Amino acid sequence: MEGSRRPIAGSARAHAAVVVTGCSVLLVSGLLARGGVSEAERAVFQAVNELPGSLHPIIWPLMQYGTFITIPVLAVLAICFRRFRLGIALLLAGVGVYLIALLVKSTVERQRPGGLLDGVEARESFAAESLGYPSGHASVAAALTVVAAAYLPRRWALAAAAVAIVVMFGRMYMGAHLPLDLIGGAALGAIAGGVVNLVIPPDRPSRASLE
């Protein structure tokens, strides 16, 4: 039980490894995304996108973990619990990756699924010029999760990671993103979270705060 109360903090070397791995995944997924939609990517997307509409009420609330408003909400919550460093780290990683994702979108210029595939089940509306790669939802969710994992007890960090995965699943279900969009977004978020953890080394909570 005690192990589940300890943060998945990691060392500076571990945070640097997250950044390096994220950069590699972002580069490869970005190049693949520019090359078109493979049959494998199409098959994965369609398998999720064509799931029953009855899942929407379950998926939609969890998917909000990847929205911009979640960033200040979680930061304020952390500050209310006197975790000031965590609050600042969440703000920096979340807002930073949100803005960087917009820049990467304009660089890769990959359309959303509806512009690349036929028969997409779009469960929300998208602007005509809206771009798909990378997923902003996946970016924000991954950035918040990587930062939180260095501060929170293991069980809460794992819960955040599980919700981040649901966010990625949900964005395909909603018809918003293809798999590579989500992989690229998650990689970008991991980079942002890892960089922030290097710049603002996570504090170590006392034993009492973990019990």
Q: What are phi and psi of 162, to 5 degrees?
A: -65, -40
Helices 179-199 and 12-34, axial angle in degrees (round to 10): 150
80 located within any domain: yes
Q: What is the largest CA-CA distance in the chain?
A: 56
Per-residue pLDDT of the chain (211 residues; tens, 9 = 90+): 445 555 555 688 999 999 999 999 999 999 999 999 999 999 999 999 999 999 999 999 999 999 999 999 999 999 999 999 999 999 999 999 999 999 999 999 999 999 999 999 999 988 878 999 999 999 999 999 999 999 988 899 999 999 999 999 999 999 999 999 999 999 999 999 999 999 999 876 544 343 4
Q: Output the six-digit token pair for 208.
A: 């009492």
103 located within any domain: yes
Query: For residue 6, what is the DSSP state?
Result: S
Distance CA 150, CA 155 (A): 12
**Of 106, 104, 101, 126, residue with least CA distance to 115:** 126
Q: What are phi and psi of 130, to 5 degrees?
A: -65, 140
12 located within any domain: no
Say how many domains are in the chain.
1
User: How high is the pLDDT of residue 206?
Assistant: 42
User: How high is the pLDDT of residue 209?
Assistant: 41
Distance CA 62, CA 130 (A): 23
Q: Output the six-digit token pair for 23.
A: 């950069």
**How many degrees, rounded to 5, is the angle at CA 90 between CA 167 and CA 158?**
50
Alpha helices in 109-178 (DSSP H): 113-116, 136-149, 154-173
What letters, b where the CB count within 10 A reaches 16 and e where it falls short, cover 57-86?
A: eebeebbebbeeebbeebbeebbeeebeeb
pTM: 0.90
Owning domain of residue 80: 63-119+128-202
150 located within any domain: yes
77 located within any domain: yes
196 located within any domain: yes
- C-alpha of 38 from chain center: 23
